[in-house]
Amino acid sequence: MSRAPLIVTQGDPSGIGPEVTLKAWRARKSQTQPFFVLGDAALFERQAAALKLDVPIARVSPQDAAQAFPSALPVVDLGFPVKGIAGKPDAADAPATIAAIERGVRMVKQGEASAIVTNPIAKDVLYKAGFTHPGHTEFLGELGEALWSTPVLPVMMLWSPQLAVVPVTIHVSLQRAIKDLTTELIVKTARIVAEDMQRKFAIAKPRLAIAGLNPHAGENGTMGREDLDVVAPAVAQLQAEGIDARGPLPPDTMFHAAARAQYDAALCMYHDQALIPIKTLAFDSAVNLTLGLPFIRTSPDHGTAFDIAGKGIADEASLIAALDLASLLVSRA
């Protein structure tokens, strides 16, 4: 039985999302799972012409996307025309960006697509249009909870063949992250990671490395008590539940090759503690994967890159990796 195609949302139309999507279709192989774009078809036609990319655009319904895919990039027109001037984000285009995400999730729920791959958004642009979520991850969690009528705690994983990391606190300031970090949040996050790594990655007993919050994991309380009072009790609870968790570990010695060989995922206490090592090791191949959702969502591990948008130099490798991972996870679902 053939699988439904993947959805690629257009992301911020002034960023590199349209360019890398065109290039990803151009780099397709015979085994590539078909995908269609959900966005403004005219934007992709303009971008292909401006960048001199030989990518024909086919305006299709979701049901016709797979048939069109071998010979043209299928676009399901969103009905929201955008300006999409490369490198010049415009809050007037924000409603289309938000609508593509929401409608894409609905299409997965309705079986018109098997997973959603989201192109990068610029949160400050969306905020000007009334977007109230800290980021993609939290918005997707709310959509999943509403459409599937099930409680959802979305967990952001950055995955690559070299390293998988999970920030326990995500799109908040460092000061707020320390305030928000609790034993309960660490435990809930780790449970979802362990469950999804079993289900999605077929790892029978995932090994979780739990980073300390403070330098040297607090040096037994001499550099702050958070690791003793918050992180260590979470590790003990996880171990009591049968989850292979170790920590709190000194963050500065967790990411060299020998250390990475000892675990399947690293849980970090705040955003940059997780994203700096993976972006150093796998900037072009890492994928943003949201765990804990009732549907599959991946995304390139980069931003809108307004500074290079429209110049024809954006690298499509991370989007291709996101498409490949989404396809793999769909095959295992």
Report pLDDT digits (tens) over 127-170: 988 888 888 888 999 999 999 999 999 999 999 999 999 999 98
pLDDT at 130: 86
Q: Where are the domains of the chain?
A: 1-155+285-333, 162-281
More confident call, 178 vs 135: 178
φ and ψ at 76, to 5 degrees?
-90, 110
**pLDDT tens for residues 97-131?**
999 999 999 999 999 999 999 999 998 899 988 88
CA 290 to chain CA centroid, Å, is: 6
3-state SS of the chain: helix, strand, coil percent to 5? 45, 15, 40
Domains 1-155+285-333 and 162-281 share a fold: yes
Average pLDDT over residues 173-190: 96
φ and ψ at 317, to 5 degrees?
-60, -40
Which neighbouring-strand residues pair with 164? 159
Q: Side chain identity at 166, as an amino acid letter?
A: V
For the domain bounded by 1-155+285-333, which CATH number is listed?
3.40.718.10
Enter the tokens of residue 210.
């739990």
pLDDT greater than 80 at residue 1: no
- The helices-and-strands tally (H runs, E runs) of the chain is 13, 12
Task: Look at the alpha carbons of 63, 66, 72, 74 in this order and tell me if their dihedral is positive or negative.
Answer: positive
Share of the chain above pLDDT 90, in %: 89
Looking at domain 162-281, its CATH superfamily turns out to be Isopropylmalate Dehydrogenase (3.40.718.10)
